[in-house]
């Protein structure tokens, strides 16, 4: 009997030592912040083929999923009386981090939790999770969002030189300066697009509404209406549309197969599937900034972009760039189509998305 007990004790000690070796002390302090490697992200993880199809007038370059709002003739004229050539294309404009640990920045390869300091009980409400949060019976997830301005053409240094000088000079100024259509290189009518450097625009750690559905409801009271079961049932049609093609813009309160756009907060009551939950929160922050008149519509006019107070879902695509890469998919497309085998334990459950936006432009 004594030898049996000794064997059990030895096995328990061995198991405890194995766990301590496999998970160092800083792991118990909270999930270490992963490093997405920004340079690698820019060069190798951006799926540049997503810029297509690109239209110059009625001539189509490349192939890819596209909406119907593209040029059907050649020329355009804006308020200043100058004529130009119609263009349409997709461009990467924002980086969206969806993280469990507050102040964890995979894009910048930096995180507060890397110090190894323990998480106090009072701070738990500000920490995300990829399992249940709150009461154990509540099957939900919570993540923080960091919303980056990502003027990729400026950062790469090719927009104003290669396209403007290379093409325009070769045609003796006859061909338009296409670079003026790119975000960060022109005045689009949206102040956010005038920012020409990598910049963190939103930190939800500093936003009390992101951690509290009630405060979020005060800021967007229409959520009480659009969160009702009858209107949520309509979202099934948006799920089908987004999976087959593009989402239904009129159903702005739906995020297709990912869930509900409202409330504009970090809790997702749909279980612990990281890919659709993180994609939903990425879509929510875009919808919220559209609601706040920061983001706007870029596919209604060739001359101006303007805020409307509602997200136009069909003009956006999301591409997962960390922990693994994915195709560029319309908002709300079922993760069964594009999100399989994109995560792995520990550091593979925080996410970075690249937001693509369609642009109509009058190139002059």
Q: Which helix (H) or strand (E) holds 169?
A: helix 168-170
3-class SS of residue 112: helix
Measured distance between the N- and C-terminal CA atoms of the chain, rounded to whole angstroms: 90
Q: For residue 27, which of 361, 350, 346 has the smallest C-alpha distance?
A: 346
pLDDT of residue 122: 43
User: Which alpha helices (H) appear in 193-351, and where do they start and end?
Assistant: 213-219, 223-226, 229-233, 235-244, 274-291, 335-338
Domain ranges within the chain, ordered by starting residue: 95-363
pLDDT of residue 3: 45
Alpha-carbon span 172 to 192, nearest angstrom: 33
pLDDT of residue 184: 62
Q: For residue 332, which of 299, 294, 283, 288 has the smallest C-alpha distance?
A: 283
Q: For residue 311, which of 355, 232, 252 has the smallest C-alpha distance?
A: 252
Averages of pLDDT over runs of 10 residues in the chain (364 residues) are 41 35 38 78 85 92 91 88 89 94 90 55 48 50 94 68 51 58 67 82 94 90 91 95 97 96 90 88 97 93 90 97 94 94 81 95 84
pLDDT of residue 40: 73
pLDDT of residue 5: 41
pLDDT of residue 249: 96
Are 288 and 210 contacting, i.e. CB atoms less than 8 angstroms apart?
Answer: no
Alpha-carbon span 301 to 135, nearest angstrom: 48
Q: For residue 318, which of 287, 272, 361 has the smallest C-alpha distance?
A: 287
Q: For residue 342, which of 289, 286, 278 has the smallest C-alpha distance?
A: 278
Model-level pTM? 0.83
Non-local CB neighbours of 279 within 8 Å, separated by 6+ positions? 258, 318, 320, 335, 339, 353
pLDDT of residue 121: 40
* Helix-strand-coil split of the chain, %, nearest 5: 35, 20, 45
Alpha-carbon span 326 to 333, nearest angstrom: 13
Are 299 and 359 contacting, i.e. CB atoms less than 8 angstroms apart?
Answer: yes
**99 φ, ψ (degrees, to nearest 5):** -130, 155
pLDDT of residue 270: 77
pLDDT of residue 168: 52
Alpha-carbon span 189 to 196, nearest angstrom: 14
């Amino acid at each position: 009997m004594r030898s049996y007990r000794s064997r059990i004790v030895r096995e328990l000690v061995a198991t405890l030592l194995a766990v301590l070796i496999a998970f160092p002390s800083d792991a118990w302090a909270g999930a270490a912040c992963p490093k997405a490697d920004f340079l690698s992200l820019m060069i190798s993880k951006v799926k540049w083929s997503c810029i297509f199809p690109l239209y110059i007038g009625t001539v189509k370059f490349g192939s890819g999923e596209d909406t119907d709002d593209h040029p059907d003739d050649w020329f355009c004229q804006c308020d200043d009386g100058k004529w130009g050539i119609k263009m349409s294309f997709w461009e990467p404009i924002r980086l969206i981090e969806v993280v469990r640990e507050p102040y964890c920045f995979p894009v910048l390869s930096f995180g507060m939790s890397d110090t190894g300091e323990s998480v106090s009980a009072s701070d738990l409400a500000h920490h995300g999770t990829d399992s249940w949060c709150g009461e154990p019976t509540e099957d939900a997830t919570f993540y923080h969002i960091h919303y980056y301005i990502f003027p990729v053409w400026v950062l790469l240094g090719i927009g104003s030189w290669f396209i403007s000088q290379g093409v325009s000079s070769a045609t003796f100024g006859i061909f338009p300066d296409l670079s003026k259509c790119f975000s960060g290189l022109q005045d689009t009518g949206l102040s956010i697009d005038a920012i020409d450097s990598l910049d963190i625009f939103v930190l939800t750690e500093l936003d009390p509404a992101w951690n509290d559905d009630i405060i979020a409801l005060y800021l967007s009271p229409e959520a009480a209406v659009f969160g009702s079961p009858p209107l949520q049932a309509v979202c099934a049609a948006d799920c089908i549309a987004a999976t087959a093609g593009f989402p239904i813009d009129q159903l702005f309160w739906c995020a297709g197969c990912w869930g509900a756009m409202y409330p504009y907060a970090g809790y997702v009551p749909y279980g612990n599937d990281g890919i659709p939950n993180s994609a939903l929160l990425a879509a929510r922050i875009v919808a919220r900034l559209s609601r706040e008149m920061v983001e706007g519509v870029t596919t209604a006019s060739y001359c101006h972009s303007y805020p409307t107070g509602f997200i136009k879902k069909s003009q956006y695509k999301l591409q997962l760039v960390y922990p693994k890469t994915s195709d560029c998919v319309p908002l709300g497309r079922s993760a069964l189509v594009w999100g399989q085998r994109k995560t792995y334990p520990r550091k593979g459950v925080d996410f970075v998305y690249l937001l693509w936006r369609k642009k109509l432009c009058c190139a002059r």
